[in-house]
Structure 1
């Protein structure tokens, strides 16, 4: 399961049905990108996809590591933010991969946050019907969530992540010191997904996050590294059981149905983690009103989200959130799957009539 590779690198092994791989968590381990790529993927060309914020910081060390491992390195630098997760940008990336004379034996290296990981992973999954991808997440959100589990996607006009694939990476390398170079607002936003893991599956993790927010003061990288590893372990356990979201994996969507609606209504100006946090607060308040969980649970979740400086609600109308949610992937005809909270660390997936889901949104305000 999890083991120590050395005193500096922790491994979490993912054993999904379509492929197994290791997630490496440690400090100053970007130099491991090249050797890891050579060991897990092979090939001759390494195509690095990064963005205009991350590439100037880490592009050189990653490219050097790949070059030293014998790769011909090509790089595609994209813009930042959800706005670049489009079919047109995906098409541009694919054309650049072809220009680099990549084959299906070669690999993409996704160097950046969740947007880069989603985009590059999708490109890898469809280029020549699939080449290798190595995920190198540099944001907290990408480390604990989007880089692990094989979900790839771009957005459509009608909603977030509506075009995508399940495609597992060859490896994931999470170098924790990268978190010191992202702005505090982005780090805080990512905490929404971290809190989700505690509410969803691990009461002890939630108590630790509740005890002292990880976004306060100077970052305790050792503590953050342990929390990142624990979140990855939780996701690993879910993905190993249900890779393609037919059952258990749906619990990872806690807060997401309403959160994605908030995100879309804000034109993606509000970060994903913030929207998940707000969506989770909607859900837990509604669950308390329906006596599905104790009032104390709702109070603890909302107050902890508030302590992290994350939103606990939204001024967007119930009708607007409801209409957005109807386009969600978790809708099936006149029903929609929603993750409900029973206790800290205990959730369940319920299939609700869409009309009842509208009531739930209103109850969660």
Structure 2
């Protein structure tokens, strides 16, 4: 396979993929019911658990879906009329959790407004005063670029005996996590974020202690977490047709993640982010979040006054230079977003800043 023109994707996934991951998409045709392909899916599951040191205490389940599918699978499988979740809604994806619960009429309440940094003391008080069994949080909120305090959430839920649901869509695979130490109950992520695969697969990692609860309380059909996990265990297949080529690419991306290690990848992300941050600041851009809340994965950038021709013109000019930037979603705030998710390196981010500098001069 010939090398393709390099595209620098600064959207929060799908990200820029390695040449080897692209090449892994080109495989012989195979029926996904074959044992050979079942072995691939089990290798994917094993690799996902290895990324978070969860081989002993956790299981993983795959879905042919976007990341929202994995979140929906958790909420509809872990909750029922007898269980109530408190959702931290300080960004678009916490709000999406609320919308899923509303759609299925699952008992829930919310805490925090868009852009608030989580107040763990206030969350503790709500959990203690209410009849909550679960807490649902976003780890890295890509609508704002905020890194929510995962470790504090874990400690709080351990102390109060609350089941913790974590959307780690845009952090798992880059931000070092030891699932055994954190004791997360459910974690959702997808193939096309920090593990650097292509879009088409999402996954749920869950503590083995939740298996009996899952067996009793699923309220979904396609996204039945227990049935999906059990079927792969027993038949070496997914219940429904998986995206075959995507699975091969995801396996390659997992191998690359394990080879680099999450610690080294996290260091690379932070270096890339700092180049982006420093360069944008030097060019006169301002940011939505204070520095201490930044994730070092994505930046929400204010654009009022600095892009007189508007975001679309800015986007299109950079797109012609093989750079993709992403619109903002923060209510009543004029922003765009730039992420360092993917197979990106320092020279890529230096090129991005140089091209933005050139654009602004024109």
What TM-score do you get using the length of structure 2 for normalisation?
A: 0.40
Structure holding more strand per residue: 1
Structure holding more helix per residue: 1
